[in-house]
Amino acid sequence: MGQANYANGFALTLQPHMLELPLRWKRSQTIFVNSMSDLFHVSVPLDYIQQVFDVMARAHWHRFQVLTKRADRLNAISAEIDWPANVWMGTSVESDRYRSRIDDLRASGAHVKFLSLEPLLGPLPDLDLAAIDWVIVGGESGPGARAMDPGWVTDLRDQCQRAGVPFFFKQWGGKNKKQTGRVLEGRLWDEMPADRLVLHSAEA
C-alpha cells in the first residue's frame, strides 16, 4: 500500500508507535479501529489490547468503533478490560453459522454493542437482540460477490423494529456497489444508537 506500516502485508504486526495518534486529533470524530485487522486475534497480547483501550479512554472526545470476528476471545478477556463509554464494540455475523458470536458480545462489558451482519450470506431468523444497541446489514461487494436475498434484509429490518434496535442498511453490494446503492423499500436506513438515546431522553 506504499506505507511502512504495511511492509509485512497481511501478516499480524503490532504498531505501538501509532497507538497515541488519536490523542493528537483534537476535533471529535468517529474512528473505526479495525478496518484491516482484528484486535482480538489470538496473537495480539492482552497487554497490547489494554494499551489500545487505555488510549481510547484518554481520547474521550472521540467515538471508537471496534469490530471483531473473535468474539469468543472478546468474551474470555472482557473482565481484563476497562470499558470506556466512548467505545462501541461489535462482532461480525455473516451467516447462521456464527450466531454464537452474539452471545459472546452480549456477555462483554462494552457499554454499546453492535452487530455487523455483512457480508450477509444467508438468512438470520429470530435473532436474540437483547442488549444489542445497533445492527448494520450489508451485501458482499467486488468481483465474485455472492448475492444477498432482499428477504433476508427486510426480515432483519423488521426484527430490529420489533426489538427497538436502530437499523443501518449499508449496501446491496454486488460487482458495482455504487450502482446497486443502498435504498431499501424506497428509503435509506441510517439509524444509529444515538437516535434511540435521544428518543428515550425526550420521553423521560
> Is the pLDDT score of 2 beyond 80?
no
pLDDT at 198: 39
Q: Can you tell me the distance from the alpha carbon of 127 to that of 103, in angstroms, rounded to the nearest whole number? A: 11
The pLDDT of 98-122, averaged and rounded, is 97
pLDDT at 18: 78
pLDDT digits (tens, 9 = 90+) for 6-58: 666 667 778 787 799 999 999 999 999 987 789 999 999 999 999 999 999 99
Inside any domain, residue 14: no
Q: Can you tell me the distance from the alpha carbon of 41 to that of 49, in angstroms, rounded to the nearest whole number? A: 10
**pLDDT level of residue 110 (50, 70, 90 thresholds):** very high
**pLDDT level of residue 202 (50, 70, 90 thresholds):** very low
Q: Can you tell me the distance from the alpha carbon of 81 to that of 123, in angstroms, rounded to the nearest whole number? A: 33
Single-letter residue type at 52: V
Q: Cβ of 90: how many Cβ atoms within 10 Å?
A: 26
The pLDDT of 176-183, averaged and rounded, is 90
Inside any domain, residue 185: yes
Q: Cβ of 81: how many Cβ atoms within 10 Å?
A: 19
Share of the chain above pLDDT 70, in %: 90
Closest CA to 38 of 93, 77, 90: 90
Inside any domain, residue 129: yes
Residues spanned by the domain of 51: 30-203
- Selected residue with higher pLDDT from 186 and 178: 186
pLDDT at 1: 53
Backbone angles phi, psi at 149, to 5 degrees: -75, 125
Residue 46: helix, strand or coil by DSSP? Answer: helix
Contact 148, 160 (CB under 8 A): no
Q: Which of 50-54, 63-67, 180-184, 194-198 has the lowest mean pLDDT?
A: 194-198
Q: Can you tell me the distance from the alpha carbon of 18 to that of 21, in angstroms, rounded to the nearest whole number? A: 6
Inside any domain, residue 75: yes
pTM, entire model: 0.89
pLDDT at 204: 34
Contact 140, 169 (CB under 8 A): no
pLDDT at 199: 34
pLDDT at 64: 96
pLDDT at 62: 95
- Selected residue with higher pLDDT from 174 and 183: 183
Contact 170, 118 (CB under 8 A): yes
- Give me the number of domains the chain comprises: 1
Single-letter residue type at 68: T
Inside any domain, residue 99: yes
Inside any domain, residue 16: no
Q: Can you tell me the distance from the alpha carbon of 138 to that of 64, in angstroms, rounded to the nearest whole number? A: 20
Q: Cβ of 135: how many Cβ atoms within 10 Å?
A: 26
The region that residue 181 occupies, defined by phi over 0 for left and psi between -120 and 50 for alpha, beta otherwise, is left
Inside any domain, residue 192: yes
Inside any domain, residue 120: yes
The pLDDT of 52-81, averaged and rounded, is 97
Mean pLDDT (the chain, rounded): 90
